[in-house]
Chain A
Amino acid sequence: MKKLGLCLLVIAGLSGCSTTYLPDLDSSTAGSGSNTAGANQLMQEADTLNRQGKHALAREKLERALRLEKQNPYIWFSLAKTHEMEGNSGQAKNFALRAKSLSNNAQLTRNIDSFINSL
């Protein structure tokens, strides 16, 4: 019981320390897949801009994040979602497919599939 408590404490502590940004995805999609604080920061800024309706600026941030982590499917997916917010479903689908082609996370792939189906 003590061990279990300790484990929970460690897990809670670890998750408290984590600053990993969750892009606007299901909470089950663990993390932004980002390895760098730089890309994380840009994704956060893009998220804020998207919430403010400044989608073109958000795409600018995400494209910059992509230059830092080109293989990161979460950034491609965020770009897809931004295109969708702008009403550009064609590009949204293509970016989502690109994200899927780079994804090795089953949950993320499912999320992308349902996003594509919803377009």
Chain B
Amino acid sequence: MARKKSRRRSRRFPLRGLLLFLIGLSLPFGLYIVYLDRVVVSQFEGKRFSIPAKVYARPLELFIGKELSPQNLLAELALLNYSQSSQLSQAGQYRQQMGSVDIFIRPFTFWDEAQPAQKISLSFRGDKVSDLRSLEYNSELSLIRLEPQQIGGIYPNKGEDRELVRLEQVPQHLIDALIAIEDKRFYSHHGIDPKAILRAVFSLASGSRVQGGSTITQQLIKNFYLSSERTLQRKLKEMVMAILLEAHYSKEEILETYINEVYFGQDKNRAIHGFGLASQFFFSQSIEQLEAQQSALLVGMLKGPAYYNPRRHPERALQRRNLVLQEMHEQGMLNKPAFDRAKQKPIAVSPLPNIGQSPHPAFMDLVIRQLTRDYREEDLRSEGLRIFSTLDPITQNLAENVMQATLERLERNNKLPANHLEGAAVIVNVLDGEVEAIVGGRKSNYQGFNRALDASRQVGSLFKPAIYLTALSQPERYHLASVLDDSPFIWQERGTEDWQPQNYDKKFHGAVPLWYALAKSYNVSAARLGTELGVANVLHTAKQLGINKNMPPYASSLLGSVELTPYEITQMYHTIASGGFRTPFRAIREVTTSEGAPLSRYPLSVEQVIPALPNYLLVKALELVVTQGTGSALSSILPRGLVVAGKTGTTDGLRDSWFSGFSGDKVATVWVGNDKNEGIKLTGATAALDVWGHIMKDISASSISLQEPENIAFMKINRDSGFIASGSCMNTFDLPVEKNFIPQEARSCSGSDPAKKIKSWFNKILGK
């Protein structure tokens, strides 16, 4: 009996054991499936992609009467990757004719409205737009914008960049090409293709590595969830997850995600993902505009984005493209004539756009600093924000070119070692404080130390306008021709060493008129004046003008021992240039979501901080710096008749060369120096002024035209002495003065400067 039982047990045991074994095996497997299902769903349900923020330059506004040369328009079109075509058959093309330019403008969603694609024609009279018409309606247009240049992005940490597209936007021929070459049975299988599995098994059995045959769904799973290792375990996991994905989501959802996911190669540190961005990157076109042969080229690249890169390997890419077209034709997706036409077309990729690494990293730096005050870094890197900046690419490019060319020339002409000089520049619009350009160094396209924002250097005589403005704000005591004392001066202050300022020429000039002391940048008379006024009062004026940094309350601050960046000192000159109105600088106009919904605006704000009259007098004095003082070398650079104002600055040991000044529409500061703080053997007038003048010349700056404030009168100034002229003087010019405080201290026509007396005598003899 016992034996019988035992036999029965032994007969039943394998069955029971097998059952238990299967249950034991399937339970963890089942749990694993549930786990994978959660993984698949959770990532697909949430935010599928991190979309970088895009930063745009200002859009170019076009309207009748706009100051714009045809050359600058063409430069803008080149930046936007417009191509020349006589047909204007698609957006992104232009044609040039005698005196006019026709453009097929691309569609673009601005922060305030969407602008459709349209054909326009611009006519020019000189450097002005004289006519603006719609070519489609043959009617006059009052205003239109070109889409802005993308000047950079703020990328997720992995560096992935993509432009999301919806399946409705994708041309049918692109979908056809994908199906034809990547997954013929995409619409009929359930995530995996049995034939592909068999192929994988055979390749494993034959000893070769597991490879190939993945469906689109499997590829998506691999890219989205898994590593790229090629093992059987990973392959099995991929297949299970593909089936799960198909069980939860429609073919359309899977295809759309795949189209946005796929990788198209690197652009420096940026990874190009998705067909939306790829069509921009390779053809400068939106995905909707792609033609069949372009779709085939992109689909063909998926097999090996680097190997089939059409810019590096056009022959390979062409062969692969034609293979895709052939497959489409054979599978009935492309008829014979369309196939023949597509096959004949050249590769025709656009020039490599300069987006990945911003072409203007110094400006981008400023944008990011302003953004990080209001947004979390994570959101900037993932939410696809669209940031509309104030950068003017034409001004920016001109400034960068001038900086590089001038520094090279200065090194050559002054026998300085190559790359001894560094430079920085800030250019801001006078009226609204929009930052138009930032040059962070001579190699402007390299990301690195941003001298415009971070190089705090002594500003030297650039600080002097704060002294003179403090004086001119007391019209009962000072006017432009007040007598200042430029004789030896020692300043003693408890707790500091005696301070004995010197003039640059190591001479003392005795009694000098106020305007002349500023024009010639005399240190001694400025220091005397500043201490008379009170250091604290002068520093207060500087604060009013926009210097937010704490400045040491010592007399040496008066002569610019204060360390400021080019950006900071530009704010001070900006307030002067804009009539005493302080306008905080802005590098950003608007931020929107990826769909174009407004998120934040950076509105214009102004505050009158300096009364109009003393500010006006200071501007006149700074104009005299340029016509008769240390800035007079500008006359050989700038167009005749252009009225500008500014101030040179040079620091001890000729370490820093500065020029800050303004025209009617632009304020600019230029610094030239050396990163090691070594002497550069150049003054403000010989280096920074040179760069400043050429920038202003190239950007076609306009003359200063400040309105005369109320209560202005004019006093006659003796050209020889610079002081107020007596009634009998002939050689005079006018300077403004407050009407209620017209000075009565006229000097004789002979003046006070012996050298000038001799010069005047010679002039009389020579009949000048």
Report A's interface with B, CB cutoff 8 A. 35-42, 56-57, 59-61, 63-64, 66-68, 70-71, 79, 91, 94-95, 97-98, 101-104
B606–A98 CB distance below 8 A = yes
B608–A36 CB distance below 8 A = no
List 23 contacting pairs A-B, 8 Å CB cutoff, sorted by A.
A36-B64, A36-B142, A37-B140, A37-B142, A38-B61, A38-B64, A38-B65, A38-B66, A38-B142, A40-B142, A60-B112, A63-B603, A63-B604, A67-B61, A67-B432, A68-B66, A70-B429, A94-B608, A95-B606, A97-B581, A101-B579, A101-B581, A104-B707
B431 interface residue per 8 A CB criterion: yes
Closest to B664 in A: A71
For B608, the chain A residues whose CB sits under 8 A away are: 94, 97-98
For B66, the chain A residues whose CB sits under 8 A away are: 36, 38, 68
Output the least CB separation between A97 and chain B (Å): 5
For B112, the chain A residues whose CB sits under 8 A away are: 57, 60-61, 64
In the complex, what distance in Å separates the CA atom of A59 from the CA atom of B65?
Answer: 23
Q: Which of A95, A97, A102 contacts B707 (CB 8 A)?
A: A102
For B430, the chain A residues whose CB sits under 8 A away are: 70
In the complex, what distance in Å separates the CA atom of A48 from the CA atom of B334?
Answer: 52
In the complex, what distance in Å separates the CA atom of A37 from the CA atom of B129?
Answer: 12
Closest to A93 in B: B608
Output the least CB separation between B245 and chain A (Å): 44
For A97, the chain B residues whose CB sits under 8 A away are: 581, 608
Output the least CB separation between B133 and chain A (Å): 12
Instruction: Tell me which of A41, A67, A68 has the highest count of chain B C-beta atoms within 10 A of its own C-beta.
Output: A67
Output the least CB separation between B232 and chain A (Å): 60
B665 interface residue per 8 A CB criterion: yes
For A37, the chain B residues whose CB sits under 8 A away are: 63-64, 140, 142-143
Output the least CB separation between B337 and chain A (Å): 46
Output the least CB separation between A100 and chain B (Å): 9
Q: Which of B111, B431, B705, B707 contacts A66 (CB 8 A)?
A: B431
- Given A37-B142, A64-B112, output 7 extra A-B contacts at Cβ < 8 Å: A36-B63, A36-B64, A36-B66, A37-B63, A98-B579, A98-B581, A103-B707
B605 interface residue per 8 A CB criterion: yes
B497 interface residue per 8 A CB criterion: no
Which residues between 63 and 81 of chain B lie within 8 Å of chain A, taking CB atoms?
A: 63-66
For B607, the chain A residues whose CB sits under 8 A away are: 94
In the complex, what distance in Å separates the CA atom of A73 from the CA atom of B607?
Answer: 16
Q: A70-B429, A94-B608, A101-B612 are in contact. Are A38 and B581 (CB under 8 A)?
A: no
For A42, the chain B residues whose CB sits under 8 A away are: 143
Report B's interface with A, CB cutoff 8 A. 61, 63-66, 111-112, 140, 142-143, 429-432, 434, 579, 581, 601, 603-608, 612, 665, 705, 707, 709
In the complex, what distance in Å separates the CA atom of A36 from the CA atom of B62?
Answer: 11
B603–A59 CB distance below 8 A = yes
In the complex, what distance in Å separates the CA atom of A98 from the CA atom of B581?
Answer: 7
B431–A63 CB distance below 8 A = no
B143–A38 CB distance below 8 A = yes
Output the least CB separation between A88 and chain B (Å): 10
For B579, the chain A residues whose CB sits under 8 A away are: 98, 101
In the complex, what distance in Å separates the CA atom of A77 from the CA atom of B402?
Answer: 38
Output the least CB separation between B391 and chain A (Å): 14
Instruction: Tell me which of B61, B111, B430, B709 has the highest count of chain A C-beta atoms within 10 A of its own C-beta.
Output: B61
In the complex, what distance in Å separates the CA atom of A54 from the CA atom of B628?
Answer: 51
Closest to B144 in A: A38
For A104, the chain B residues whose CB sits under 8 A away are: 707
Output the least CB separation between A99 and chain B (Å): 10
B581–A66 CB distance below 8 A = no
Output the least CB separation between B137 and chain A (Å): 16
- Smallest CB-CB A-B distances: 7 pairs: A38-B63, A38-B143, A37-B142, A70-B431, A36-B65, A41-B142, A101-B579
In the complex, what distance in Å separates the CA atom of A79 from the CA atom of B604?
Answer: 10
Q: Which of B65, B111, B431 contacts A71 (CB 8 A)?
A: B431
In the complex, what distance in Å separates the CA atom of A35 from the CA atom of B579?
Answer: 23
A63–B432 CB distance below 8 A = yes
For B61, the chain A residues whose CB sits under 8 A away are: 38, 64, 67-68
Output the least CB separation between A65 and chain B (Å): 9
For A66, the chain B residues whose CB sits under 8 A away are: 431-432, 604
In the complex, what distance in Å separates the CA atom of A48 from the CA atom of B66?
Answer: 25
A56–B601 CB distance below 8 A = yes
In the complex, what distance in Å separates the CA atom of A85 from the CA atom of B654?
Answer: 54
Closest to A56 in B: B601
Instruction: Tell me which of A38, A61, A63 has the highest count of chain B C-beta atoms within 10 A of its own C-beta.
Output: A38
Instruction: Tell me which of B63, B142, B709 has the highest count of chain A C-beta atoms within 10 A of its own C-beta.
Output: B63
B707–A41 CB distance below 8 A = no
Output the least CB separation between B141 and chain A (Å): 9
Output the least CB separation between A91 and chain B (Å): 6
Output the least CB separation between B703 and chain A (Å): 12
For A68, the chain B residues whose CB sits under 8 A away are: 61, 63, 66, 143
For A56, the chain B residues whose CB sits under 8 A away are: 601
For A79, the chain B residues whose CB sits under 8 A away are: 604
A91–B707 CB distance below 8 A = no
For A59, the chain B residues whose CB sits under 8 A away are: 603
For A64, the chain B residues whose CB sits under 8 A away are: 61, 112
For A103, the chain B residues whose CB sits under 8 A away are: 707
In the complex, what distance in Å separates the CA atom of A42 from the CA atom of B143?
Answer: 9
Output the least CB separation between B680 and chain A (Å): 36
In the complex, what distance in Å separates the CA atom of A102 from the CA atom of B665?
Answer: 13
Closest to A69 in B: B65
Q: A66-B604, A71-B431, A101-B707 are in contact. Are A94 and B581 (CB under 8 A)?
A: yes
Closest to B604 in A: A63
Instruction: Tell me which of B140, B142, B604 has the highest count of chain A C-beta atoms within 10 A of its own C-beta.
Output: B604
Output the least CB separation between A103 and chain B (Å): 7
Q: A59-B603, A70-B432, A97-B608 are in contact. Are A35 and B65 (CB under 8 A)?
A: yes
Closest to B603 in A: A59
In the complex, what distance in Å separates the CA atom of A71 from the CA atom of B578?
Answer: 11
In the complex, what distance in Å separates the CA atom of A103 from the CA atom of B64?
Answer: 23
In the complex, what distance in Å separates the CA atom of A56 from the CA atom of B599?
Answer: 13
Closest to A104 in B: B707
Instruction: Tell me which of B64, B432, B606, B709 has the highest count of chain A C-beta atoms within 10 A of its own C-beta.
Output: B606
Closest to A90 in B: B607
For B63, the chain A residues whose CB sits under 8 A away are: 36-39, 68
For B64, the chain A residues whose CB sits under 8 A away are: 36-38
Output the least CB separation between B494 and chain A (Å): 41
For B707, the chain A residues whose CB sits under 8 A away are: 101-104
For A91, the chain B residues whose CB sits under 8 A away are: 605-606
In the complex, what distance in Å separates the CA atom of A58 from the CA atom of B71?
Answer: 34
Closest to B589 in A: A63
In the complex, what distance in Å separates the CA atom of A68 from the CA atom of B581?
Answer: 20
In the complex, what distance in Å separates the CA atom of A36 from the CA atom of B606?
Answer: 24
Output the least CB separation between A58 and chain B (Å): 11
Output the least CB separation between B605 and chain A (Å): 6
For A70, the chain B residues whose CB sits under 8 A away are: 429-432, 665
In the complex, what distance in Å separates the CA atom of A32 from the CA atom of B95?
Answer: 35
For A36, the chain B residues whose CB sits under 8 A away are: 63-66, 142
In the complex, what distance in Å separates the CA atom of A102 from the CA atom of B579?
Answer: 9
B432–A60 CB distance below 8 A = no
In the complex, what distance in Å separates the CA atom of A32 from the CA atom of B378?
Answer: 45
